[in-house]
Amino acid sequence: MQTNQTGTPVVLLYHRIGRPKLASLVAGQYVAPWLFRSGLDYLTAKGWCGARLAGIAARLCDGDKFAVTFDDGYLSVYEHAFPAMVERNMTGTVYVVSGAIGGINEWDRRAGDTREPMMTAAQAREMADAGFEIGSHTVNHPHLTLIPDDQLEQEIVDSKRALEDIIGKEVISFSYPYGDLDERVTQAVIAAGYKYAVVTKLGVPASGGAFEIPRVNVRWNAIGPLLMRKIRRAKRASGIRN
Ligand SMILES: [Zn+2]
């Protein structure tokens, strides 16, 4: 059993920042801008410090560390989360669906969800220039375990190249759409040259390897103590007791 002597890193997962759209199939994934800001301030007030996912293992403060990640690359992340984090001198990681840049969430729409605008290439570049990490979330957001090898490679390799062209930096981090992965998918991600990958499974990075980094999915109601309770649950899920 591991202990929590030097601070346990936690990777938070957000999707959409904004007032919940009740018609959405994932209404709980909208975090109001003020709640997003209060979540950052709450953890900071508790002695936690924000870190980049790439540097989560570095000992930046004596307390616990948290990294903020966003899946999909919604415009609302650029509009609300980006300025809030810059204001607090924090950076995060955005996993962008490269084929949806400047468009809408076609994959959600096909499943009957509400329409959401995605950030543009210029906005992704601006975030990268400000120190945010841009990671890949494939080209089209498919279930990777269900597609043939050639398509799998396209989704993983083409998105990396497209994003690198946009931001002018290497893209080394990957997020599996729907948290859908198996051995074949992970091997393809490693072969494409990524250095680590995040999943949607609840937990903290202490468990799993570099290509299965668990996260804490932050939903609309994860306010203060509720957020802390979920983080504690993630630690327990990874075998950490405190
Ligand atoms: Zn996604």
71-239-195 Cα angle (round to 5)? 40
Distance 34 CA to ligand 1 centre (A): 23
pLDDT in tens, 33-45: 999 999 999 999 9
Distance 29 CA to ligand 1 centre (A): 11
User: 20 pLDDT band (50/70/90 cuts)?
Assistant: confident
Distance 120 CA to ligand 1 centre (A): 17
Distance CA(47)–CA(45), nearest Å, equals 5
Domains of the chain plus CATH, in order, are 10-237 (3.20.20.370)
What DSSP designation does 62 have?
S
What DSSP line would sit under 100-129, residue for residue? Answer: GTTSB-HHHHHTTPPP-BBPPHHHHHHHHH
* Residue 6: pLDDT over 60: no
Higher per-residue pLDDT: 9 or 144: 144
Distance 45 CA to ligand 1 centre (A): 30
Distance 242 CA to ligand 1 centre (A): 31
Distance 6 CA to ligand 1 centre (A): 32
pLDDT in tens, 204-241: 887 668 999 999 999 888 888 999 999 999 999 988 87
The one-letter amino acid at 146: L
Host H or E run for residue 37: helix 33-45
Average pLDDT over every residue of 37-58: 85
Q: Are 77 and 119 in contact (CB under 8 A)?
A: yes
Distance 172 CA to ligand 1 centre (A): 17
Summary mean pLDDT of the chain: 91
Distance 1 CA to ligand 1 centre (A): 32
pLDDT in tens, 146-166: 999 999 999 999 999 999 999
Distance CA(96)–CA(76), nearest Å, equals 13
Q: For residue 197, give every residue at least 6 positions away whose Cβ sits within 8 Å of its Cβ, in sequence order, or none.
A: 173, 174, 175, 176, 181, 186, 189, 210, 211, 212, 213
pTM check: above 0.75: yes
What is the percent of the chain with per-residue pLDDT over 90, rounded to a whole number? 72
Higher per-residue pLDDT: 63 or 30: 30
